[in-house]
């Protein structure tokens, strides 16, 4: 008996040792990867608070010894980009005034389109849906010259309105796809019952569909907001100087500082450009991942 | 289910005005989006296709020159570098981000504490633009200020990590940065897949005495095979459209070593005034996408039909 008990003990001890080491390996690997993912972010955050002299002395990757907000103030309002010394604030606001309306309009259009394509199908609607989907795959490069021409004709070259138009048209396929796939899951009986009660197209939309929509609308808004805010190609092609969105301004700023690189100001500028989508992601990321994996991408 | 099935059982004498209006409302609502999408997808593509066959240079021009632009494109050394880079980048980028993403997903799947925190850390680069990522990493690769300087400062004096200033290796800087940015996205999709595997299946394998590694290899991963394909297709799309990352990280350099088709299109159209040839390059990008997406879409449709047939 004692022998048996000892053998079991030994086995249990071995098992718990194995368990310990496998746990150790799991958390060890996760920590290494977390460091790789976080260090670039920490480097910019630290550098935006350090003095340029300190960065020059201690190198770019180092813990901060000083703390100051001047770099942020400079990046926001006084730093010179391509001859104009007003910092990033204009470009930041351009991006905001471009992203908010474009996100709202494209999401609303996606919601009604998805509603029609899932609950009010008509002959040929599946074919039309497939055609709209093609927009998801279009590379922006193929539309550059036509857009340049259309924006020119409409008098929207070098303007935020022009970019809003481009992003809304480009976004329709995504938002329609997301909403349509989600609404397909809403039971048709619900709609049928409402129709029997005399509810029409819009009533059903506002009273039944929209109240059931928050999960997919959150996904769509996050997707559109981050996508439009982070977009660069259209911004750099269709606008210049003070009319550019922040991504284009950031490239102009970091390219111009080749002689004396002021990493402090550039770091602050990078963070100003990254903050809005990061905030949206931090507050809505949970819903985003859930929605994305549940059906937005199928 | 179509609107014709939604017959209203209450006796309606004749189709009233309201009914008739009601039945065209859905089409009216859809019409503007349809028109915009149609113009965007077909008119714009057709337009660029036409430009690619035209004698456009500094301004669009509509005299046809046949395939001259394509011939001049393919005889250009820079375009060939761009196309080679695209293959090299796509291959390493897809394999890299899927491998890292899968590893992270499996690690998180081991019932770790603070799962949400790990996930947030690995996913946040997805929210940041390629411009931001490219800018920050270009500093990290900078031999004077970045990682190389740090490691040398720690005493390893011949450590070398100056990828972006070396024309033979700069493309790997783009690959590493791309994988860093996108592996979290692959992780999220893989994790969702792992969570959707039937727990009974896993339990059965464990009762049969299969180790964790064997269970993943033989049971779990085969059941999520379609996710691998979906992740690969999404990543290929990103790879073909890659513009921002290179624009911020290497600007196509050193020299022309990290030129990509997307960069090339922009350059020809807006820097060199070669609109016709730029359009030809854009059409080649679309062709590359179609080579990947058309078979994949057909496969997806076929699989859905097969499933519907079995069910």
Residue B303 pLDDT exceeds 90: no
* SS3 (DSSP) at A239: coil
Q: How many CB atoms are closer than 10 A to CB A121?
A: 18
Residues of chain B with Cβ-Cβ distance to A176 below 8 Å are 33
pLDDT tens readout for residues A78-103: 887 767 778 889 999 999 999 999 99
Residue A291 pLDDT exceeds 80: no
The whole-angstrom separation of Cα B245 and Cα B178 is: 8
Across the interface, whether the CB atoms of A297 and B189 are under 8 A apart is answered yes
Instruction: Give me chain B's average pLDDT, please.
Output: 86
- The CA radius of gyration of chain A, in Å to the nearest whole number, is 26
Residues of chain B with Cβ-Cβ distance to A44 below 8 Å are 136
- Give the residue on A whose Cα is nearest the Cα of B283: A142
State the pLDDT confidence band at A156, using cuts at 50, 70 and 90: very high
Across the interface, whether the CB atoms of A293 and B192 are under 8 A apart is answered yes
Alpha helices in chain B (DSSP H): 17-38, 44-52, 68-74, 77-108, 115-123, 130-141, 147-153, 170-196, 199-207, 212-215, 221-223, 225-241, 244-249, 261-266, 275-310
The whole-angstrom separation of Cα A109 and Cα A42 is: 39
Structure letter (DSSP) for residue B220: I
Cα distance from B212 to chain A (closest Cα, Å)?
11
Instruction: Give me chain A's average pLDDT, please.
Output: 88
Across the interface, whether the CB atoms of A173 and B293 are under 8 A apart is answered no
Residue B48 pLDDT exceeds 90: yes
User: Which residues 90-149 of A have a C-beta within 8 angstroms of B?
Assistant: 109, 112-113, 116-117, 120-123, 125, 128, 131-132, 134-135, 137-147, 149
**Helices B170-196 and B77-108 meet at what angle, rounded to 10?**
40
pLDDT of residue B181: 93
> A57 CB contacts (<8 Å, ≥6 apart)?
none
Across the interface, whether the CB atoms of B192 and A294 are under 8 A apart is answered yes
pLDDT of residue B262: 92
Residues of chain A with pLDDT > 90, as a percent, come to 51
Residue A187 pLDDT exceeds 70: yes
The whole-angstrom separation of Cα A136 and Cα A189 is: 31
Q: Which residue has the higher pLDDT, A67 or B11?
A: A67
pLDDT tens readout for residues B203-257: 888 888 888 888 888 888 888 888 898 889 888 988 988 899 999 998 887 888 8
Question: Cβ of A281 under 8 Å from any chain B Cβ?
Answer: yes
Across the interface, whether the CB atoms of B41 and A141 are under 8 A apart is answered no
pLDDT tens readout for residues A209-231: 999 999 899 989 999 999 999 99
Quickly tell me which residue has 């470009």 as its tokens: A91
State the pLDDT confidence band at B6, using cuts at 50, 70 and 90: very low
**Residues B131-142, mean pLDDT to the nearest whole number:** 92
pLDDT of residue A104: 97
pLDDT tens readout for residues A36-59: 999 999 999 999 998 888 888 888
User: Which of A269, A278, A280 lies closest to A71, judged by CA?
Assistant: A269
pLDDT of residue B1: 42
For residue A232, give the nearest of B147, B150, B247 by CB distance.
B247
Residues of chain B with Cβ-Cβ distance to A59 below 8 Å are 145, 149-150, 153
User: Which residues 219-278 of A have a C-beta within 8 angstroms of B?
Assistant: 226, 229-233, 236-237, 247, 250-251, 254-255, 261, 263, 266, 270, 273-274, 277-278
Residue of A59, A142, A263 to mutate when probing chain B, most B C-beta within 10 A: A142
The whole-angstrom separation of Cα B218 and Cα B304 is: 24
pLDDT of residue A295: 53
Across the interface, whether the CB atoms of A112 and B29 are under 8 A apart is answered yes
pLDDT of residue B37: 93
Q: What is the complex's ipTM, to 2 decimals?
A: 0.88
State the pLDDT confidence band at A256, using cuts at 50, 70 and 90: low
Q: Which residue has the higher pLDDT, B22 or A211?
A: A211
- Cβ atoms A246, A95 nearer than 8 A: yes
For residue A122, give the nearest of B22, B26, B137 by CB distance.
B26
Q: Which CB contacts under 8 angstroms, 24+ apart, belong to B163-172?
A: B164/B138, B164/B249, B164/B250, B164/B254, B165/B141, B165/B254, B166/B254, B167/B253, B167/B254, B167/B255, B167/B257, B168/B257, B170/B250, B170/B253, B170/B254, B170/B257, B170/B258, B171/B85, B171/B88, B171/B89, B171/B257, B171/B258, B172/B92
Residue A62 pLDDT exceeds 90: no
Across the interface, whether the CB atoms of A139 and B282 are under 8 A apart is answered yes
Across the interface, whether the CB atoms of B8 and A61 are under 8 A apart is answered no
pLDDT of residue A260: 58
- A11-20, A120-129, A185-194: the lowest-pLDDT one: A11-20
Across the interface, whether the CB atoms of A176 and B107 are under 8 A apart is answered no
Structure letter (DSSP) for residue A81: B
Which domains are assigned to chain B?
A: 10-52 (no CATH), 77-310 (1.10.3720.10)
Residues of chain A with Cβ-Cβ distance to B130 below 8 Å are 230, 232
Q: Which residue has the higher pLDDT, A289 or B126?
A: B126
Q: Which residue has the higher pLDDT, B144 or B18?
A: B144
Residue A292 pLDDT exceeds 80: no
User: Which residues 201-220 of A have a C-beta within 8 angstroms of B?
Assistant: 201-202
pLDDT of residue B50: 92
- A36-50, A165-179, A280-294, B94-108: the lowest-pLDDT one: A280-294
Structure tokens at B97: 């981000």
> B60 CB contacts (<8 Å, ≥6 apart)?
A145, A149, B51, B54, B275
Distance of CA B228 to the CA centre of its chain: 14
User: Which of A294, A244, A241, A297 lies closest to A273, judged by CA?
Assistant: A244
Question: Cβ of A188 under 8 Å from any chain B Cβ?
Answer: yes
> A265 CB contacts (<8 Å, ≥6 apart)?
A52, A71, A74, A75, A79
The whole-angstrom separation of Cα B211 and Cα B224 is: 19
Residue B16 pLDDT exceeds 70: no
Residues of chain B with Cβ-Cβ distance to A286 below 8 Å are 116
Residue of A33, A81, A145 to mutate when probing chain B, most B C-beta within 10 A: A145
Across the interface, whether the CB atoms of A142 and B285 are under 8 A apart is answered yes
Residue of B5, B121, B131, B133 to mutate when probing chain A, most A C-beta within 10 A: B131
Q: Which residue has the higher pLDDT, A29 or B197?
A: A29
Cα distance from A193 to chain B (closest Cα, Å)?
9
Residue A258 pLDDT exceeds 70: no
Q: How many CB atoms are closer than 10 A to CB A288?
A: 24
- B32-41, B89-98, B139-148, B273-282: the lowest-pLDDT one: B139-148
For residue A141, give the nearest of B25, B104, B265 by CB distance.
B265
pLDDT of residue B7: 45
pLDDT of residue B2: 44
| Strand-pair partners of A84 | A81
Residue B18 pLDDT exceeds 70: no
pLDDT of residue A56: 81
Residue B5 pLDDT exceeds 60: no
pLDDT of residue B14: 55
Across the interface, whether the CB atoms of A145 and B47 are under 8 A apart is answered yes
**Residues B182-193, mean pLDDT to the nearest whole number:** 91
State the pLDDT confidence band at A294, using cuts at 50, 70 and 90: low
Across the interface, whether the CB atoms of A289 and B130 are under 8 A apart is answered no
Across the interface, whether the CB atoms of B129 and A273 are under 8 A apart is answered yes
Cα distance from B204 to chain A (closest Cα, Å)?
21
> A21 CB contacts (<8 Å, ≥6 apart)?
none
State the pLDDT confidence band at A288, using cuts at 50, 70 and 90: confident
Question: Cβ of A45 under 8 Å from any chain B Cβ?
Answer: no
- Cβ atoms A66, A51 nearer than 8 A: yes
**Residues B113-134, mean pLDDT to the nearest whole number:** 91
**Residues B70-89, mean pLDDT to the nearest whole number:** 92
- Say if residue A233 is exposed, middle or buried (CB neighbours under 10 Å; 0-12, 13-18, 19+): buried
Across the interface, whether the CB atoms of A116 and B30 are under 8 A apart is answered yes
- Cβ atoms B145, B113 nearer than 8 A: no
pLDDT of residue A38: 94
> B14 CB contacts (<8 Å, ≥6 apart)?
none
* SS3 (DSSP) at B54: strand
**3-state DSSP: chain A helix, strand, coil percent, rounded to 5?**
80, 0, 20
């Amino acid at each position: 008996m004692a022998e048996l008990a000892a053998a079991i003990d030994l086995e249990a001890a071995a098992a718990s040792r194995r368990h310990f080491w496998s746990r150790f390996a799991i958390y060890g690997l996760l920590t290494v990867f977390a460091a790789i993912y976080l260090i670039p972010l920490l480097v910019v955050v630290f550098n935006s608070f350090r003095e340029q002299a300190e960065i020059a002395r201690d190198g770019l990757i180092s813990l901060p010894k000083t703390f100051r907000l001047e770099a942020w103030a400079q990046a926001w309002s006084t730093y010179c980009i391509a001859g104009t010394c007003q910092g990033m604030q204009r470009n930041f606001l351009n991006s905001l005034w471009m992203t908010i309306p474009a996100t709202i309009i494209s999401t609303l259009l996606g919601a009604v389109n998805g509603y029609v394509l899932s609950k009010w199908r008509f002959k040929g609607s599946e074919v039309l849906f497939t055609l709209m989907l093609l927009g998801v795959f279009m590379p922006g490069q193929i539309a550059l010259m036509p857009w340049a021409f259309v924006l020119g004709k409409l008098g929207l070259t070098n303007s935020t309105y022009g970019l809003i138009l481009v992003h809304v048209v480009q976004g329709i396929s995504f938002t329609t796809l997301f909403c349509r796939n989600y609404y397909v899951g809403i039971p048709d009986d619900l709609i049928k019952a409402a129709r029997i009660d005399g509810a029409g197209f819009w009533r059903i939309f506002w009273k039944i569909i929209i109240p059931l929509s928050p999960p997919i609308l959150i996904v769509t808004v996050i997707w559109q907001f981050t996508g439009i805010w982070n977009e660069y190609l259209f911004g750099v092609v269709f606008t210049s100087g003070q009319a550019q969105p922040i991504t284009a301004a950031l490239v102009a700023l970091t390219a111009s500082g080749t002689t004396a690189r002021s990493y402090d100001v550039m770091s602050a500028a990078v963070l100003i450009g990254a903050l809005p989508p990061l905030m949206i992601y931090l507050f809505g990321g949970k819903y985003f991942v859930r929605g994305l994996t549940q059906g937005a991408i199928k | 289910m179509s609107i014709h099935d939604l017959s209203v059982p209450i006796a309606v004498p004749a189709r009233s005005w309201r009914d008739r209006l009601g039945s065209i409302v859905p089409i009216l609502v859809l019409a503007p989006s349809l028109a915009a999408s149609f113009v965007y997808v077909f008119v714009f593509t057709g337009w660029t296709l036409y430009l690619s066959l035209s004698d456009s240079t500094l301004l669009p021009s509509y005299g046809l020159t046949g395939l001259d632009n394509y011939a001049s494109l393919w005889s250009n050394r820079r375009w060939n570098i761009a196309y080679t880079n695209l293959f090299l980048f796509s291959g390493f980028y897809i394999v890299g981000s899927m491998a890292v993403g899968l590893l992270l997903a499996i690690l998180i799947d081991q019932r770790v504490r603070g799962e949400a925190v790990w996930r947030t850390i690995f996913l946040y680069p997805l929210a940041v633009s390629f411009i931001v990522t490219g800018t920050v990493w270009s500093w990290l690769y900078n031999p004077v200020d970045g990682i190389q300087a740090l490691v040398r400062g720690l005493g390893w004096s011949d450590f070398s990590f100056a990828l972006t200033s070396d024309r033979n290796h700069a493309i790997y800087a783009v690959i590493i940065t791309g994988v860093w940015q996108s592996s979290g996205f692959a992780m999220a999709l893989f994790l969702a897949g792992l969570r959707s595997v039937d727990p009974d299946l896993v339990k059965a394998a464990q009762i049969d005495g299969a180790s964790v590694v064997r269970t993943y290899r033989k049971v779990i991963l085969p059941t999520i095979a379609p996710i691998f394909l979906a992740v690969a297709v999404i990543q290929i799309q990103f790879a073909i459209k890659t513009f921002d990352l290179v624009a911020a990280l290497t600007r196509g350099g050193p020299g022309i070593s990290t030129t990509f088709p997307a960069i090339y299109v922009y350059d020809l159209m807006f820097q060199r005034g070669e609109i016709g040839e730029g359009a030809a390059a854009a059409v080649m990008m679309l062709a590359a996408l179609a080579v990947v997406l058309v078979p994949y879409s057909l496969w997806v449709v076929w699989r859905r039909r097969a499933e519907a047939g079995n069910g």
